[in-house]
A and B are shown apart, each in its own frame.
Chain A
């Protein structure tokens, strides 16, 4: 299936980048797979610079030194900080850093496909292109759920549901590049679950000390919908002493809180097609993104959609790299004649 490459191939490093609201990853044709949390931090002042020893920090490294840094999560949904010029700068830094992680050879040209959340793409197309263009010789920007679908070979009769942190992106594939109607974004995703869980827990245990970070870790460790066996108990300090708390019910409620909107949007999107195609799509629903790790989610959706006929819901194997792998596959399959007109003029 792979296109015949020119003799230049060895001199080109193809990279697929998934620019996520919470995590960004890169997959490269030299085999590199790397990811970082989508945080960028700059030292607040000269002293901080001395402390952290670097002009810019990323991901977990940035989070660790958060007190000394101006921290930025550039694609985070709905949060707009005073200086958004910084957001744009942060996107650049993330791209640059990811490409460095891919370790291109000095003389190698970089051809990049970058997947971004569908909503971001609508209004930031050119800005994203500019941010990447400094670090790539030729590049294409695509919507993230589409990259996932392409990577899984789901070119036709399928629906990809990418549950990320800031948004859930849905994308129907029918043998062509998806149009706007084939893609929908809803704002109920991982961050929303965190907020719900936080408020349920503070309500139930008003004397215990939580923070948003702890709550997210609980979620990532114990997330489930429907029923599971056993208790979920976590240690949380009360008056400085660790105390066990039963949070099973709250985890379930929080995880299920994103489902009504998701099911409504899914049925709406499928309903637009004729019955024969509807049946096909329903047999090919794929969950991606960090949210697809919620236990019982695929079964829940399968049952919820059952009243409209049988359906089959699966999860991607590697949610962290499904987007960047798909973008890489796009990059490698793309004929050379399409790369050339999109080359960036290097000064």
Chain B
């Protein structure tokens, strides 16, 4: 089938292929290999920090025009102190939900109930996809693949409940810009929007769970994460500011916070039963593009952490991913059915 003169090329190709298969598998079991290092290069880190601080300044000042220009040295000093802050415990975080916050919401009926008894539409957004892999673990697990798998599992679970309409922003490994996701969510008339992501903490060997809703943030780490998750969107910094101002203390913001709290609670409490060393970073506000353009309660959950070696291994098991979907589902159901005595009675006897 092949011309004789290409035999040598074929031999070389075969050698390359066999070595490639070997290296791929070595990477899976975590052996030494020529595989690329996933750590973010220093200059990229610097860039992210720079933009984070810029964003922080803008949001903190509340005005784009008042942006003061930092001398470079001063800013660098600022970055270092921010960097050295230890990971704050939940109670100390100002963006953390507190019991009084919670109290504030307990009185208000969920937005979901205002939709009456009709079928509710839930939009699930699997983070990243296609050319945008998101973060990646050391064995090569990609955020985009795990988020899609969990999103599909969540969809199947919610569909089995029989009383929800489920829409996904993507069901395959395709590139979908953030503004396209926002458009889809707006056009779909969904009642709630859940975006699924995985965290990556380059410097800390821990596993964390956190859930975000849209809003201004003054935390550098949060802003850095937002910068990563927003990468590739066509929104400018000024877009954030306008919308944040308009949103104020709208119903959407409050409902999003409540939905976030419900998902975070279910995710964390249940994950903790399996893995005692997991950290609860609670719910936080952050300027994620996918959340901001959506007029309905919208949250972004960082459901697991790919930088954690053990967690990356766990994520390769379908049962672990199914469990994560199960906890998110429980969070959604708790939120949607809050105040429904029937549901709560069932929930308390554990027959869900």
Contact residues of A with B, CB < 8 Å? 1, 78-80, 84-85, 87-88, 113, 119, 122-127, 129, 139-142, 150, 153, 155-156, 175-177, 184-187, 330, 333-335, 338, 341-342
Contact = CB atoms under 8 A, between A and B. Distances in A.
A334 B17 contact: no
A342 B26 contact: yes
Contacts of A119: 173
B13 interface: yes
Nearest to A77: B152
A113 B18 CA distance: 12
A contact face: mostly helix, strand, loop, or mixed: mixed
A122 B142 contact: yes
B43 interface: no
B14 A155 contact: yes
B20 A176 contact: yes
A87 B317 CA distance: 10
A126 B318 contact: no
B2 to A, nearest CB: 8
B154 to A, nearest CB: 10
Top 3 closest pairs, chain A to chain B, by CB: A177-B20, A126-B316, A175-B13
Given A141-B28, A156-B9, A333-B14, A84 B319 contact: yes
B16 A176 contact: yes
Contacts of B13: 155-156, 175-176
B317 A127 contact: yes
Contacts of B141: 123, 125
Interface in B12-57: 12-14, 16-22, 24-26, 28-29, 31
A80 B153 contact: yes
B172 interface: yes
Contacts of B139: 125-126
A178 B149 CA distance: 22
A156 B21 contact: no
Contacts of B317: 88, 124, 126-127
Interface of B: 1-2, 9-14, 16-22, 24-26, 28-29, 31, 139-142, 145-146, 149, 152-153, 156-157, 171-173, 313, 315-319, 321-322
A334 B319 contact: no
26 contacts: A1-B14, A78-B152, A79-B156, A80-B153, A88-B318, A88-B319, A123-B141, A125-B28, A125-B139, A125-B141, A126-B29, A127-B316, A141-B28, A156-B9, A175-B16, A175-B17, A176-B13, A177-B16, A177-B20, A186-B172, A330-B21, A333-B18, A334-B18, A338-B22, A341-B22, A342-B22
Nearest to B22: A338
B300 to A, nearest CB: 20
Contacts, number: 109
Contacts of A186: 172
Given A330-B21, A342-B25, 10 more contacts: A84-B319, A123-B321, A126-B139, A126-B313, A140-B25, A153-B1, A156-B10, A338-B21, A342-B22, A342-B26
Contact of A126 (B9, B26, B28): B28
B318 A177 contact: no
Contacts of A80: 152-153, 156-157, 322
Contacts of A87: 318-319
Contacts of B149: 123
A335 B18 contact: yes
A338 B18 contact: yes
A124 B21 CA distance: 16
A113 B11 CA distance: 20
The CB with the most chain A CB atoms within 10 A, among B146, B313, B318, is that of: B318
B294 to A, nearest CB: 26
Contacts of B142: 122
A177 B145 contact: no
A84 B322 contact: yes
B84 to A, nearest CB: 35
Nearest to A183: B173
Contacts of B28: 125-126, 129, 141
The CB with the most chain B CB atoms within 10 A, among A175, A177, A185, is that of: A177
